[in-house]
Structure 1
Amino acid sequence: MDIDGETTPAAPRRRTPQLVAGVVAVLLAAGAAFAVWQLTRSDDAGTPVAAASSGPPEQLVSCRSRPEPAPGARQVGAVPTAAPGAGTVVLAVTTNLGVIEIVMDRARTPCTAGFLSFLAGAKFFDGTECHRLVTGSLKVLQCGDPTGTGAGGPGFAFDEENLPGLAPTPTPTPSPSCAGVTVVEGESVPGGGMRITVPSGLAPSGNFVIKMPGAAVEGGLGCPFARQREVPEIMYPRGRVAMANRGQPGTSGSQFFFVYDDSRLGASYTPFGRVATGMEIIDQVAAGGVVAGAGTDGRPVTALTILNVTVRPA
């Protein structure tokens, strides 16, 4: 299924119109002198409101985010609540090895593009390293973590976009047969693995069931056999750029990954752009491989440091 399928953006926020009267000139026949009046609306406090631009007003869509404390989170100030819902922009990522340009279609991922543009403007990515290279069946280079550990972020999280069959996911709840049983949430690991953390106080032999990332615990043949609603796999083609997350819906933050060879993944990671220039830089890092002892998933041998990120119209 084509992951570029367009999703329906949220309803645009209505903007208050600005009223500016044009210049009126009255030519006096006797002395060729003229008088000019300009009317500008003011708000209730008497503060002038800037004149509207000659172009059409930019349509905005509402964007939700939620606080999500992260180790070493970089403070970025007030998070935007709306973003442009149309047009194409370029995210220019300047690195120690050159410039990588990512084209983002704001009609398909308005909020993701908006939050990334906001973080770029806040210099959030400056000085960060692409901390993770995966070279197995999944072939990606992951960036965007100020801590370089895979656990860092901007202190907020937001919903995924532009995914097949994407719909708001209710908080999973155990079926009645799971009464009194602890549901342990799993965290997905690129490459098909899963990491779980058993709550303190729950013995390894305790009564609990593991919930797969992105799945919901449903009724079935008893809690230990609870069925899982799996996320479908889709192809992330070479050159795609997508958001990483914590394996749960609504946990996109600042981390993203470049796909340097076609890779199949669960449809859980927002595909927000494609590499227009600089793919050879990612190939160079991938060719260097992973540091010794990390197998096929670890820190790349060839360091890629993001110096700064800017946004401009395509």
Structure 2
Amino acid sequence: MTTNQQRREAAKRKLQRQQERRNDRSKRRKKTAAITAVVVVVAVVAAVVLFSTLGGGSTPPAANSAAPPSTAANATPPPAAPVNIPTQIAPPLKRPTAFPASVNCTYKPDGQAARPAQAPPGANVSARGTAPVALATSAGQIDMTLDRDLAPCTVNSFVSLAKQGYFNNTSCHRLTTSPGLQVLQCGDPTGTGSGGPGYSFADETYPQLTYGRGYLAMANAGPNTNGSQFFMIYGDASALTPDYTVFGYITPASLPVLDKVAKAGDDGSLDPNPGGGKPNMAVTITKVTVS
């Protein structure tokens, strides 16, 4: 006859066997889940490799790949955003107070010259008359008239640098097309926007100065830091404060050359500050001639 003690031991053994079976089932489930996870990861990696190999992925082929270039790589770049260029040419400027017939200019040494250049003599510089200048460029000829009455020291420097060949075979390194600042900037032989002639001179501005289509002005890095860089205003320049010396004008017949460059747009490499970038239509000044 079975005793109470025997029944308790039998029940205990049965419970132990049930617990062991549950543990075994749990281990099998975990193992199966782990294997499934590995299989999924391997499948995903294989799919990604296949996707990229077929050209559907975002990663381009290696530079030394023997695969032919994609159609996108050979496609024509999208056209530049339309540039709204005012057609009205700004009227000639006149200083509120005229310079005397001649002035003395100071050209002080300032950094390393981007290209060998000598500062011009600064004594008894004429402040009367004009100097016709022709820029032969890869985009077309740009004729300008420098105005000594507006900025005698600036004109004196520009004419001197031009006669020294300083501007020959240099690129216009910056184009801006946004409303309020539509200019093409040139005059740095390094093409970086940081080069100058190794000297600087004072501004020839006045508080009432405004800017418009057809003006020629000096770029600077702050007050009285003029050097060789200049910009040609082909459109709206209303965003400019009166801190940039205007020293001449682009002839009306030459403005379409600048318009053509502007409509091709820039590469945006200088956005957001100072803005713009290299012209998409490269502009190289091959020679500057002073009449």
- Shorter chain as denominator, the TM-score bin is 0.5 to 0.7
User: Are positions 1:4 and 2:93 aligned together?
Assistant: yes
- 1:76-105: CA deviation from partner (whole Å, max 9, x where unpaired): 135321322211111211111221111122
Query: One-letter code of the match for 1:139?
Result: Q
Structure 2 residue aligned with 1:77, among 118, 125, 139? 118
> Counterparts of 1:274 and 1:266 in 2: how far apart (Å)?
18
Aligned match of 2:65:
none
User: Are positions 1:257 and 2:257 aligned together?
Assistant: no
Q: Classify 1:61/1:256 alpha carbon distance in 2 versus 1 (closer, same or farther; 3 Å).
A: same
Query: One-letter code of the match for 1:76?
Result: A
> Under a length normalisation based on structure 1, what TM-score does the superposition of the two structures give?
0.58
CA contact (8 A) 2:151 2:247 kept: yes
Structure 2 alignment gaps of length 5 or more? 1-90
- 1:132-160: CA deviation from partner (whole Å, max 9, x where unpaired): 01122311110000110000010011111
- 1:155-195: CA deviation from partner (whole Å, max 9, x where unpaired): 01111114226xxxxxxxxxxxxxxxxxxxxxxxxxxxxxx
**Alpha-carbon shift at residue 110 of structure 1 (Å):** 0.9
Aligned match of 1:243:
218
Question: More helix by proportion, 1 or 2?
Answer: 2
The structure whose RCO (Cα within 8 Å, separation 6+) is larger is 1
User: Are positions 1:284 and 2:260 aligned together?
Assistant: yes
| SS class of match (1:285) | helix
- The 5-angstrom pairing of residues 138-177 of structure 1 reads 138-164=181-207
Q: Classify 1:97/1:3 alpha carbon distance in 2 versus 1 (closer, same or farther; 3 Å).
A: closer
Structure 1 alignment gaps of length 5 or more? 13-59, 166-233
**Alpha-carbon shift at residue 115 of structure 1 (Å):** 0.5
| SS class of match (1:297) | coil
Q: Classify 1:91/1:163 alpha carbon distance in 2 versus 1 (closer, same or farther; 3 Å).
A: farther
- The 5-angstrom pairing of residues 1-314 of structure 1 reads 4-6=93-95, 7-9=97-99, 60-70=102-112, 73-82=114-123, 83-137=125-179, 138-164=181-207, 235-246=210-221, 248-264=222-238, 265-276=240-251, 277-291=253-267, 295=271, 297-312=276-291
> Under a length normalisation based on structure 2, what TM-score does the superposition of the two structures give?
0.62
> Counterparts of 2:205 and 2:174 in 1: how far apart (Å)?
24
CA contact (8 A) 2:174 2:186 kept: yes
> Counterparts of 2:269 and 2:159 in 1: how far apart (Å)?
36
> Counterparts of 1:305 and 1:80 in 2: how far apart (Å)?
28
CA contact (8 A) 1:73 1:152 kept: yes
Q: Classify 1:294/1:62 alpha carbon distance in 2 versus 1 (closer, same or farther; 3 Å).
A: closer
CA contact (8 A) 2:165 2:287 kept: yes
Query: One-letter code of the match for 1:88?
Result: T
CA contact (8 A) 2:119 2:199 kept: no
> Counterparts of 2:164 and 2:132 in 1: how far apart (Å)?
17
Query: One-letter code of the match for 2:137?
Result: T
| SS class of match (1:133) | strand
Percent identity reads: 42
Q: Classify 1:147/1:297 alpha carbon distance in 2 versus 1 (closer, same or farther; 3 Å).
A: same
> Counterparts of 2:165 and 2:278 in 1: how far apart (Å)?
23
Question: More strand by proportion, 1 or 2?
Answer: 1
| SS class of match (1:266) | coil
| SS class of match (1:252) | coil
Q: Classify 1:136/1:80 alpha carbon distance in 2 versus 1 (closer, same or farther; 3 Å).
A: same
**Matched length:** 194
CA contact (8 A) 1:3 1:235 kept: no
> Counterparts of 2:223 and 2:110 in 1: how far apart (Å)?
13
- 1:245-266: CA deviation from partner (whole Å, max 9, x where unpaired): 00x2110111011111121211
Query: One-letter code of the match for 1:128?
Result: T
